[in-house]
């Protein structure tokens, strides 16, 4: 039961079926990511080079015809899984490239004599020189020292096990008989009734073997009785079940729990995982890709992850009766503003980039939820705020370096209104030099969206036309222009409802 039923029922595929799948899906053979390629194959050869031969049901011509002289003749005399042989008649010497990936153990023979060969760069094919004349070329997969040692260890282990099975019961019987010969008659009779029999050991061995075979044979038919079965539209493992159609092609049927917040590191990136559950609504004739976006409040996508084929299974091969579990790992740069973002997903055609519409609203993305990015821990030693505005919007720190103003805000209960923060730069006479109005992070973090208790770093770059001596900082309602009441750290009202910060030259 550790091996569930296949997601795709392939039946008994032929080599031609494997080639067709490779061409359509973009996969490498029957693997997902080329995990079985030899280390010499940095670049996978094109899958359609041998496909015509397999489609026609004839032995593949593995000697690349591109370098063969036009007058040369090459006949395939043998083709097996572990060997190939050709009869070659050539009027000129040439370098033969055999379209077989090199693995340790492959050996070439020319007229039954071993010959040297090379491995092509990046692709890892076998290459050798063929002289003028008639020759028999043979490619044979032979054993290596490591394989030979493994084979002998296997044979030795099997022989040892067989010897133990045969000898152990005999030794037990002989030992028991010797002990009974020196015992009293009553003891002898009692021991004779408990003599082990070689037949009983054989029967036990056969019974155990029969039970194991029966369990193996019955395990697959009985598997549905002991495994979890889900309606493809109601995946039981999903934390939240959904029913979101992307066109009439693919349906989002579930999602696992998403984190409410992620703390950003001081540098590098944070990673979150969103587990989505998909299913095909019908047999698909196109391959679709999925994406996961981290969108800012203004709609800009700040981080994204795309999966060409969810779980490395092309959507053309998805059976409509099953769902697919698809973990998506989103990398979030540490440089993003620590605000609340929206996680969205969507589906698009891999070949054209065209997105499928979400039914019935017609958009091309579906909102999965929101995600707070928390800033790295901020070392801030503050006994009392610089100023407090309205109902508890606290300015904890205000400094200016060169032309950059650095503010730190905090609110336990963010306001419901869309207030704006102003920073007025004043000269020595108190005249306005320049100003910056708005909300933190270049307008991305309106006050009603502030996370309660969060330390919000608000950085503003000023472009003064004269020398700045003071900063006047406050909060106002853009609809009316009215400023929020302001008090200093001692709770005393501030003139003009703004706090004055002296700029040190």
∠ CA(92), CA(97), CA(98), 5° rounding? 120
**Cβ atoms 281, 249 nearer than 8 A:** yes
Asked if the structure places residue 213 within a domain, the reply is yes
Torsion sign, CA atoms 145, 146, 150, 156: positive
The structure tokens listed for 219 are 């395990």
Decide if pLDDT at 188 tops 50: no
> Is 440 a domain residue?
yes
The confidence score (pLDDT) of residue 229 equals 74
Decide if pLDDT at 174 tops 80.
no
Angle made by CA atoms 310, 312, 318, in degrees to the nearest 5? 65
Name the pLDDT band for 85 (thresholds 50, 70, 90): very high
CB 364 within 8 A of CB 379: no
Distances in whole angstroms, Cα of residue 125 to Cα of each of 45, 96, 101, 141, 460: 9, 10, 5, 14, 60
Q: Are residues 129 and 41 in the same domain?
A: yes
- What secondary structure does DSSP assign to 380-445, as a single string? ---SS-SEEETTTEEEEEEEEETTEEEEEEEESS--SS--EEEEEEE-TTS-EEEEEEE-HHHHT-
| Claim to verify: residue 252 and residue 197 sit in the same structural domain | no
pLDDT of amino acid 416: 92
Q: What is the mean pLDDT of residues 212-228?
A: 77
132 and 248 inside one domain: no
pLDDT, the chain, mean: 87
Structure tokens of 102?
């090199």
User: Mapping DSSP to helix (H, G, I), strand (E, B) and coil, where does residue 121 land?
Assistant: coil
| More confident site: 461 or 194 | 461
**C-alpha to C-alpha distance for 243 and 251, rounded to whole angstroms:** 7
pLDDT of res. 33: 62
Confirm whether 381 is domain-assigned: no
**Domain match, 192 and 84 both:** no
Cα separation of the two ends of the chain: 74
Look at residues 428, 421, 423 and name the one whose alpha carbon lies nearest to residue 468. 428
Range 224-232 average pLDDT: 76
Of 11-15, 63-67, 152-156, least confident by mean pLDDT is: 11-15
* The two structure tokens encoding residue 115: 């010959």
**pLDDT tens-digit readout, 353-394:** 999 999 988 899 999 999 999 998 887 878 899 999 998 999
Domain that residue 178 falls in: 166-226
Asked if residue 203 has pLDDT above 70, the reply is yes
Considering only 30-44, 298-312, 319-333, 436-450, which range has the smallest mean pLDDT? 30-44
pLDDT of residue 192: 45
Cβ–Cβ under 8 Å, residues 334 and 264? yes
If one compares 161 and 88, the residue with the highest pLDDT of the two is 88
| 270 vs 107: CA distance, rounded Å | 50
pLDDT tens digits along 292-313:
999 999 999 999 999 998 988 8
Say which DSSP state 492 is in.
P
User: Is pLDDT above 50 for 187?
Assistant: no
The alpha-helical segments, DSSP class H, found in 29-73 are 51-56
* Same domain membership, residue 474 and residue 433: yes
State how beta strands 470-476 and 499-502 pair. Answer: antiparallel
pLDDT band at 53 (very low <50, low <70, confident <90, very high): confident
CATH code for position 86: 2.60.40
Predicted confidence at residue 471, as pLDDT, reads 95
- Name the percent of the chain lying above pLDDT 70: 88
Torsion angle, alpha carbons of 244, 248, 249, 250, to 10: 10
Does 219 share its domain with 261? no
* 493, pLDDT greater than 80: yes
Q: Which residues contact 236 (CB under 8 A, 6 or more apart)?
A: 228, 230
| 218-227, 271-280, 312-321, 383-392: least confidently modelled range | 218-227
Is residue 246 domain-shared with residue 300, that is, in the same domain? yes
Model confidence at 32, pLDDT cuts 50, 70, 90, reads low
Task: Say if 214 falls within a structural domain.
Answer: yes
Could you tell me the pLDDT band of residue 91, with boundaries at 50, 70 and 90? very high
Instruction: Say how many domains are in the chain.
Output: 4
CA distances from 4 to 8, 31, 326 (A): 11, 18, 17
Instruction: Report the SS3 class of residue 199.
Output: helix
Q: What is the pLDDT of residues 145-169, one digit of tens each?
A: 999 999 999 999 999 988 887 776 6
Q: Is a pLDDT exceeding 80 seen at residue 8? A: no
Q: Are residues 251 and 219 in the same domain?
A: no
Residue 200 belongs to some domain of the structure: yes
Residue 256 domain-assigned (yes or no): yes
| Domain end call among 226, 252, 277 | 226
Q: Domain for residue 196, yes or no?
A: yes
- pLDDT value, residue 146: 93
- Burial of 9 (C-beta count, 10 Å sphere; 0-12/13-18/19+): exposed
Cα gap 72→93, rounded to integer Å: 10
Q: Is residue 180 part of a domain?
A: yes
Same domain, 248 and 365: yes
Residues 393 and 370 in one domain: no
The confidence band for 42, taking pLDDT boundaries of 50, 70 and 90, is confident
């Amino acid at each position: 039961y550790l091996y569930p039923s296949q997601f795709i029922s392939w039946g008994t595929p032929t080599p031609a079926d494997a080639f067709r799948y490779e061409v359509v899906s973009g996969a490498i053979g029957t693997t997902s990511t080329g995990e079985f390629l030899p280390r010499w194959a940095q670049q996978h050869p094109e899958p359609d080079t041998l496909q015509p031969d397999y489609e026609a049901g004839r032995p593949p011509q593995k000697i690349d015809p591109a370098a063969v002289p036009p007058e040369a003749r090459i006949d395939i005399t043998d083709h097996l899984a572990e060997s190939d042989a050709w009869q070659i008649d050539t009027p000129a010497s040439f370098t033969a490239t055999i379209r077989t990936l090199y693995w340790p153990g492959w050996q070439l023979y020319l007229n039954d004599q071993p010959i040297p060969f090379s491995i092509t760069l990046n692709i890892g094919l076998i290459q050798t020189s063929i002289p003028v004349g008639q020759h028999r070329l043979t490619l044979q997969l032979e054993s290596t020292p490591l394989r030979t040692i493994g084979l002998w260890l296997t044979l030795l282990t099997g022989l040892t096990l067989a010897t133990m099975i045969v000898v152990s019961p005999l030794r037990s019987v002989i030992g028991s008989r010797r002990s009974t010969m020196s015992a009293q008659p009553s003891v002898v009779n009692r021991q004779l009734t408990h003599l082990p029999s070689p037949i009983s050991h054989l029967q036990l061995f056969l019974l155990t073997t029969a039970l194991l075979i029966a369990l193996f044979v019955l395990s697959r038919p009985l598997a549905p009785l002991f495994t979890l079965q889900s309606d493809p539209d109601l995946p039981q493992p999903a934390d939240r079940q959904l029913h979101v159609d992307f066109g009439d092609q693919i349906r989002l049927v579930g999602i696992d729990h998403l984190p409410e917040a992620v703390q950003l590191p001081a540098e590098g990136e944070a990673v979150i995982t969103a587990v989505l559950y998909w299913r095909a609504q019908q047999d698909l004739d196109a391959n679709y890709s999925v994406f996961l976006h981290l969108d800012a409040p203004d709609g800009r996508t700040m981080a994204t992850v795309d999966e060409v084929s969810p779980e490395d299974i092309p959507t053309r091969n998805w059976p409509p009766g099953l769902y697919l579990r698809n973990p998506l790992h989103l990398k979030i740069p540490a440089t993003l503003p620590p605000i609340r973002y929206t996680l969205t997903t969507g589906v698009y055609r891999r070949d054209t980039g065209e997105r499928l519409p979400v039914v019935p609203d017609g958009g091309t993305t579906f909102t999965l939820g929101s995600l707070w990015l928390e800033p790295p821990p901020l070392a801030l030693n503050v006994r009392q705020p610089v100023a407090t505005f309205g109902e508890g919007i606290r300015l904890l720190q205000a400094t200016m370096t060169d032309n950059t103003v650095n503010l730190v805000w905090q609110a336990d209960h963010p306001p419901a209104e869309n207030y704006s923060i102003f920073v007025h730069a004043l000269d020595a006479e108190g005249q306005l030099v320049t100003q910056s109005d708005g909300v933190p992070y270049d307008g991305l973090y309106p006050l009603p969206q502030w996370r309660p208790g969060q330390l919000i770093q608000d950085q503003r770059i000023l472009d003064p036309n004269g020398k700045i001596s003071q900063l006047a900082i406050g909060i106002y309602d853009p609809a009316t222009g009215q400023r929020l009441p302001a008090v200093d750290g001692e709770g005393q009202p501030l003139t003009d409802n703004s706090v004055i910060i002296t700029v040190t030259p």
